[in-house]
Structure formats: C-alpha cells, structure tokens
A and B are shown apart, each in its own frame.
Chain A
Amino acid sequence: MNQAKDAKKSIVKLTAHGRNYLYFGLFVAFIAVSFLLKFEPGVEMGNNFYLFAKDMVLILPPAFVLIGLFDVWAKRETIEKHFGETADARGYVWSILLAATTVGGTFVAFPVANALYHKGARYSMIMTYVTSASLVMIPMSIMEAAILGPRFTAVRILVSLPLVVMGSLLIEKVLLRLQYRIPEVQNDG
C-alpha cells in the first residue's frame, strides 16, 4: 500500500530514482501475471531476469561493503603511487591482476574503478582495470578453455591485454584533451 503511494508521489516529482523503482514494479507485476497465465514470453523473460538477479543479489552487498572499507582505509598517496600519474608500468599489471580476481565482472568493476579514480588513480589504469575485468576473469576463462579449447583462450588473452593497455592510454588522451572529469558519486542519497 505504502509502496504504491510512494510510486505515485515519484511520478509527480519525476525523480529518476522513483521512476526506476516504478518500472521495476511494473516489470515484476508483468512477470507475475505471465507466470499465472503461463504467457510464454513473459515466463522466459522472468527466467532470464532470475538468472542475473540471483548473482547480483549475492555479489553486490559484500562488494559494496568492501568498497566502503576501501574508501575509509586506502590512503590517497598509496593509490597515487601505484595507480596515479607517477606510477610505472607495474600499475597496469596490478590493474589486470585486480581485474582477474574481481568477482562479479564489470558489474562490480565499475564502482571499484570509480572509487580508485577518486583516490587518485589515472584514467588509463582504471580503464585497463574495467576492460580487463570483462576479459580475464579466472573462473570464466577456465570454463572457456574447457569448452572452446586452451588455444582459443590463450590467443584471446594474449592478444587482448596489450591492446587493452594501449586502448586505455588512448582513452586517457582523449579524456584529458576534453578536460573530462568523472563526476563524483555522491554518498548522500
């Protein structure tokens, strides 16, 4: 009852937040009705939704607790030294290793990259990190090698990593030329 009220209020105010929750409510209602009436497309979409939602529900809460801890503990100087302007090439290796061990792939890598950036990491490092998070995740790569063969996985990883670092440097150049700054995600909301 209260939720319906809130949803109504948010239409009036048209806050992005409220709208998203409203869409979500409508979607859930559609899926529920589909399951009741055995409406095949709706049922299938519901199953697709469950597939991803299940993982996110389990992974995101601990991931955000870790991000919060990182925020209070990580010293700006440390991040700048290893991932900032003065960092050497080892920073890219660290970025890739961090990516390989990031559970949840890019879904988790985006907020982590944002946190790193606001602690002083440079563009090329966070772009290397985010992009390799979708390329070298260890459990995924093992599965790939088992199904498509180790040669496929080896070529994919060996070809992609140097390209990812070069691409990240290029992205950095473009963003710096645009004098771009990633907006801070406010903590109050």
Chain B
Amino acid sequence: MIALYIVTAVLVAVSFVVDRHKTLEGIKIGVKKFRKILPNYLKLLILIAVVLFFTEGLIVKYLGQENGLIGMLAGMLLGSATMMPGFIAYPLAGVLVERGVLYMVVAGFVTTLMMVGVLTYPVEKEYLGVKGTIIRNSVSFVIAAMIALSMGLVYGEVFV
C-alpha cells in the first residue's frame, strides 16, 4: 500500500519534470475517469456488504458436505456469489481445513471467490463490456473447477 503511494509520487514527479503540461493532463484524465466510475464502485461496496452478511453462515454450514463433488460445487457457487478480502478468506479457509473440509472444496471456494465475480459486475461491465464480462466469468468458473479437481487429485481426495 505504501509502495503504491511511493511509486505514484515518484512517477508523478518524474513525469512533471519531463513535461509539466502532459502530467497535469494525465492527472486530469485519471480524476475524470475516477469520478465517472465512483458511483459503480459504491454500488459494488453495498452489494458486497449485504451479500457477505447473508452468506457467511452458509459457507460454514454447507462446505462440510460428505460428498466431495457436491461440496466442491457448493463451495464454487458460494465463492462466485461472494467476495472477501484475503485476510478474512484465508483464515476462514484454514478453519475449514482444520474441521476436515476437503482441500478440493476449499480450493473451489477460494478460487471462485477470487476469479469469478458476480458482485463486481457493476464495475467490470463498464470496463470489459457486458459480453466480455459474462464470457470471462463463465470461462473462469470452468477453470476454477479444473483447479479444484486437480487439488482433489494432488491431495488424493478423488480417484480416477
């Protein structure tokens, strides 16, 4: 986080020395883009706050399935529908593993949590377009399933 500020400050300074006019122009573009997208980010934050409230309980409840594949699917659906910062998701994943939840289930959950963003749609569609967003997330869901299954193979949880 601090690194981001240092890098930004250094680049702005260098840019300013090289071409004052262009630098101001660039910052203006950045500010305009930011103002334009800000309401979408706000919408996203509200969605996350509400959905997280309703799904937290479900995660602990449904991921401990007896059947690995069903558990994996449940994990993937919950992971797609939710969003969490890493410092909450990983400790939670750690707790799940300790409780005996399969690695492939945890992998399905964690991977879709990061890769598939239903909630980020209001922002993503502005930058990648509606079709681009839908196709990318669908492909990501399939990739997440392959990752979860590989995890199952590596940890000896599924047999082929």
Contacts and interface: CB of A to CB of B under 8 A. Distances in A.
Interface of A: 16-17, 20-21, 23-24, 27, 41, 44-46, 48-49, 51-53, 55-56, 58-73, 103-107, 110-111, 113-114, 123, 126-127, 130-131, 134-135, 137, 139-140, 143-144, 147-148, 151-152, 155-156, 159-160, 163-164, 167, 170-171, 174-175, 178, 180-183, 185-189
A163 B115 CA distance: 13
Contact of B131 (A56, A105, A175): A175
B129 A180 contact: yes
A147 B88 CA distance: 12
Contacts of A114: 127-128
A46 B49 contact: yes
Nearest to B43: A20
A28 B147 CA distance: 39
Nearest to B83: A52
Given A41-B53, A111-B127, A180-B132, 18 more contacts: A23-B42, A24-B42, A58-B1, A59-B4, A64-B34, A65-B12, A105-B114, A130-B128, A139-B86, A140-B114, A148-B97, A148-B106, A155-B150, A159-B146, A167-B139, A171-B139, A175-B131, A188-B32
Nearest to B138: A171
A178 B129 CA distance: 13
A131 B128 contact: no
B39 A24 contact: yes
A185 B36 contact: yes
Contacts of B65: none
Contacts of A61: 34
B87 interface: yes
Contacts of B126: 110, 185
A131 B94 contact: no
Given A68-B28, A171-B139, A111 B33 contact: yes
A68 B30 contact: yes
B34 A170 contact: no
A73 B33 contact: no
A113 B110 CA distance: 23
B8 to A, nearest CB: 4
Contacts of B115: 131, 134-135
B53 A44 contact: yes
